[in-house]
Copies of this chain bind each other. A is one copy, B any other.
């Protein structure tokens, strides 16, 4: 039954379509939004519209940006000879937070996943190849996720990049820093053994 009026029900319905927002939390969010001052609700709605309107892909690395070239690609302080390929802008942000990497990125916006109907054409791979043709980097680091889809994507990219005579590397598998060995899964343990380094 309709206890509150249609405008609330529609808001609850729209909110519950968001990932991780169930019926109960959609209701809670809706009541919170109604109790907000009008200008704050307006700011939220406007932020949604502005993000959709202003955000596009960086012409070079396909990261999200609101200008033609993202902050990283426009920076003169980055090493243009290394490209790290990641699945998602959040992965880029995660590597940036390490403060260790000074090269460029390329964001694929996904990983090859035949189960979900995502093939190489759905990813920003054409853009990567075009970019490499314009300026050949000395190294491409494949930093896709360490799961089935990420590995498949890295293997696929390795196959098409190798013939171009570029050094192609993959981020290391191994035990995470700060963990307890006994809680690390078997596959990771055997990868850590297999990829061991002399010290």
Contact = CB atoms under 8 A, between A and B. Distances in A.
A117 interface: no
Interface string A59-72: 00001111100111
A1 B77 CA distance: 15
Interface residues of A, number: 59
Contact of A51 (B11, B43, B55, B93): B11
Interface string A1-26: 11111111011011101111100010
B48 A89 contact: no
Given A20-B28, A28-B20, A89-B31, A5 B48 contact: no
A122 interface: no
B18 A32 contact: yes
A25 B22 CA distance: 14
Nearest to A54: B7
